[in-house]
């Protein structure tokens, strides 16, 4: 059986910076509340007419990742696209990327696992490479949240958190025989809590006109809903569990971690996990301060930035961990 390794990373965020003060002009919120509860200082938002979409941002991140992998787009065998904010209700973003990048008729697979989408996508790609079916898989996480958020006081507990952006990696068949690459991935779900963090409409149980008719103005089902404290409590325990699961599966200790890249849900969640595993600031990468929560894009953006800043070196143990809507959660253990 083959193994896989990440050979290229890339990211792209829209130019427009939206600060907490900017949001306080649209809704009853303030910089102090947002920073204290989430750690977020600013996020990026797509602007109408700036040419960005979920798929096009994914393409920009992908082009960087493919170049850094020393490949051309023709070497890619499969596209895996993770998002909760596709350009269209259907088809998904994978085929849009295939078209925009002028790729041949390679398969394109969409992953609908929200904040865990990238880790799920990485795990799927790893299986395809292990079996020998594919050699180079492009995995993209991209989100355009800003167009779909309730930017009034009614939606403030959700809208201040999310931001736009994209990240991508190329996962390739590992040519090295030094124990490097993806060591293991660990995936979980608990659908009993699907409604605690969701966007209900439009759905096939009730299309938009029906949803609008049957719901009062203050409960509009086509904006995301999050039971913040409930999600927070589950997040801290699931993050910890799934990191521990990965460590145990590889007979490793928390002290072996060189870089933990948690999904950027809330700085307080990352800090809780850091403390639990007694990791130093150098062992955990956070950029939620600058981008907010970019769901499926958050891990690949953070991974690309950590790599660019020289914080990930050959031989390092890199741990990815995610939790989010579904609920779904997962981790990936990587020897870089």
**Contacting residues toward ligand UT7, per CB under 6 A:** 29, 33-34, 37-38, 115, 156-157, 160, 228-229, 231-232, 235, 265-266, 269, 293, 324
Q: Angle, nearest 10°, between helix axes 31-38 and 267-276?
A: 30
What is the C-alpha to C-alpha distance for residues 49 and 166, in angstroms, rounded to an integer? 18
Q: How far is the CB of 261 from ligand UT7 (least distance, A)?
A: 14
Q: Rounded to a whole number, what is the largest CA-CA distance in the chain? A: 61
Which one of 20, 174, 286, 293 is the catalytic residue?
Answer: 293
What is the C-alpha to C-alpha distance for residues 231 and 239, in angstroms, rounded to an integer? 12
Q: How far is the CB of 13 from ligand UT7 (least distance, A)?
A: 17
For residues 181 and 300, which CB has a smaller minimum distance to ligand UT7 in the complex?
Answer: 300
45 is catalytic: no
263 is catalytic: yes
Cβ 74 vs Cβ 158: under 8 Å: no
Cβ 129 vs Cβ 172: under 8 Å: yes
For residues 272 and 277, which CB has a smaller minimum distance to ligand UT7 in the complex?
Answer: 272
215 is catalytic: no
Cβ 235 vs Cβ 190: under 8 Å: no
Tracing tokens 């907010």 back to the chain, one arrives at: 292
Which one of 52, 113, 115, 136 is the catalytic residue?
Answer: 115
For residues 43 and 335, which CB has a smaller minimum distance to ligand UT7 in the complex?
Answer: 43
Residue nearest to ligand UT7 (CB): 228
Q: How far is the CB of 223 from ligand UT7 (least distance, A)?
A: 14
For residues 157 and 203, which CB has a smaller minimum distance to ligand UT7 in the complex?
Answer: 157
Among candidates 5, 118, 142, 121, which has minimal Cα distance to 60?
142
The residues that are catalytic are: 115, 263, 293
């Amino acid at each position: 059986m083959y193994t896989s390794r990440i050979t290229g990373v890339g990211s792209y965020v829209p130019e427009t910076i939206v600060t907490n003060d900017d949001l306080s002009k649209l809704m009853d919120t303030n910089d102090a509340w947002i920073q204290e509860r989430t750690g977020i200082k600013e996020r990026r938002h797509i602007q109408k007419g700036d040419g960005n979409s979920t798929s096009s941002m994914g393409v920009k991140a992908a082009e960087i990742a493919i170049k850094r992998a020393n490949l051309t787009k023709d070497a890619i065998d499969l596209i895996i696209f993770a998002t909760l904010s596709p350009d269209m209700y259907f088809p998904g973003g994978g085929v849009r990327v295939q078209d925009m990048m002028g790729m041949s008729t390679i398969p394109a697979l969409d992953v609908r696992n929200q904040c865990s989408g990238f880790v799920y996508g990485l795990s799927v790609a790893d299986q395809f490479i292990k079996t020998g079916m594919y050699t180079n898989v492009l995995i993209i996480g991209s989100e355009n949240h800003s167009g779909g958020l309730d930017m009034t006081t009614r939606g403030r507990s959700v809208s201040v958190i999310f931001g736009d952006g994209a990240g991508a990696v190329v996962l390739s068949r590992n040519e090295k025989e030094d124990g490097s690459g993806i060591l293991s991935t660990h995936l979980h779900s608990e659908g009993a809590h699907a409604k605690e963090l969701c966007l209900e409409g439009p759905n096939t149980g009730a299309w938009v006109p029906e949803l609008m008719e049957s719901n009062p103005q203050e409960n509009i089902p086509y904006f995301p809903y999050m039971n913040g404290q409930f999600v927070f409590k589950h997040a801290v325990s699931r993050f910890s569990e799934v990191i521990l699961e990965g460590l145990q599966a590889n007979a490793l200790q928390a002290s072996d971690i060189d870089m933990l890249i948690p999904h950027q849900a809330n700085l307080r969640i990352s800090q809780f996990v850091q403390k639990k595993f007694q990791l130093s600031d150098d062992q955990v990468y956070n950029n939620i301060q600058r981008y907010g929560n970019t769901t499926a894009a958050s891990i690949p953006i953070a991974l690309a930035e950590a790599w660019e800043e020289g914080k990930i070196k050959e031989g390092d143990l890199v741990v990815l961990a995610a939790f989010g809507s579904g609920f779904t959660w997962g981790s990936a253990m990587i020897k870089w």
